[in-house]
Structure 1
Amino acid sequence: MYEISIEGKLRYASIKIEQVTNELPGILFLPHWHHQMEFYRMLEGEMMLTIIDETVHVKSGDIVVVNPNEVHSAERITASVSFVLYQIDLFSLTDNLADIQQKFLNHMFHQRRYFLKRDPVLSTRALPFLMTVEAGWRAGNVEAVESATRLMLVELLRQVKTKYPDQGAYKTYKHTLSQLKPTVSLMTFRYQERITLDILAEMTKVSAIHYSRLFKGVMHYTPIDFLNQVRIAKARQLLLTTELSVGEIAFQTGLRDSNYFSRFFKHYNQMTPTAFRKKYRIS
């Protein structure tokens, strides 16, 4: 039901790999962004991956890239999905410029602002490299993992790249993300607190109307619906991994009243919390 790490641990590698399998109803993951680059290699099932304003239909065998600082989210199409996620920290990977590959990557990503296109060619070109990266990960070989990752990115940038078309628009987009980041963090990690639109707008130092427009423009949710989805995701996790009562889970997710929580949960999951726990929990 949940994320399963691929065998092998690399404490200091600039790439992390995990296999994700999900059979639960609802959104696969909510809109978010980070400075790492990600590759999704689909193993089974189908999902819709939304990246900024582009929605990509991802099916078994596909490989899709998410460049750094691109807001992305996903919904399942099939009842179950399974994919391998490769997360690459480009800053870590390019911090030592003694190597010609690292110089090239630093120039492309950090100076010229090139990024990888979501193109069918990418799947064909990336697969053998990702398999090599994964083999190094399983063997616990940091140098092999990072060397294969650099080689992959160099080759892909030579063949499947494009430049940010409008540097002004890109700077505006990144500025908006920086504006929203404190409120997204509040809703993601302190969802049990009382959070209102006015509180979120005040944190961003704009009006509530302007904040709502900014938020929905990049996250594709209203702020309150995003908060509701965060609370529902946490409620599902607690139902499946703890012995807490429905009332206790209601309190821990910031919804307080168990009757309201049950109605709220059913609205998003088409079943009560108790029915959800009975159907999906693995004893």
Structure 2
Amino acid sequence: MQEGIEERYFVSESNSASFKIFVHEYSSPLHWHKYLEILYILEGRVLVSINGKERIVEPGTLIFINTKEEHYTDFINHEKHKILCIQFDADILYTLGGIGHEMKYIAALLNHKVPYPAYIDLESESDILPILYELLKEVEEKKVGYEMILKADFYKLIVWYYRKAEEFEKDVRMQGIRENRSDEERMNIVFRYVSENYMYPITTSDAADYVFLSYSYFCKMFKKHMKITFMEYLNKVRMVEAKKLLVHTNLSIGDVASRIGYRDQNYFTRLFKETYQMTPSSYRKEEGKGKE
């Protein structure tokens, strides 16, 4: 490290390497990593590049760098800068809740399925600044119980960012849908939405909201084009996926139901039988015989 360049490590959980918080005042070479990283510019201007796109950022800017994204930071005309760097392993996020929450929120973010703003000016974001400064204060002072506050703040930070990503995604979709106003194009968006979300407990209202249509208009539009309701279509998609899982995996019937969006195994079994005139177990046995 060059003389005069400062790097202050505040916390590093060496056993689990789950998260780190530190302040640095140097340039970082082009690299990528498997953990999430959030940078907050405390002082000075900084040149930041993410996936080949450079941008000069000012103090007060929050930068989100997802897993495996190539990035670097550099000086601007040798100006001094100071960056609060927050790094945390993606695995820490999976302690937030049950499997449903992990799949719906965390996995979508980590797998780059949720468009998100890489840069956010926090001047008007009064709700997140206290969290950032509390993180910095707690790791500097290290009072009794500071580790618990840090972990709580990490959770708040990631939830806040997911909500920002959701707003960003909504703006992107709204712009695209306004540019593609035909019902046929809206239907294609719905089909893609179902293919990416059938494993979650989505509803007709969710789909209508996704394409910014009223519930009644959406129902009429969908029935007109598909001759069935949205929920009937969703169930058909799920049944096709259920057949694949029954044949190609050893998952229990309950796990198959859960994987395709049904919390009630009995309801799934009843629906499968109505669709294919046999139970999931019988279908698995029949298909298994064909492979012997």
Structure 1 or 2, whichever has the larger Rg, is 2
TM-score of the aligned structures, taking structure 2 as reference length: 0.46
TM-score of the aligned structures, taking structure 1 as reference length: 0.47
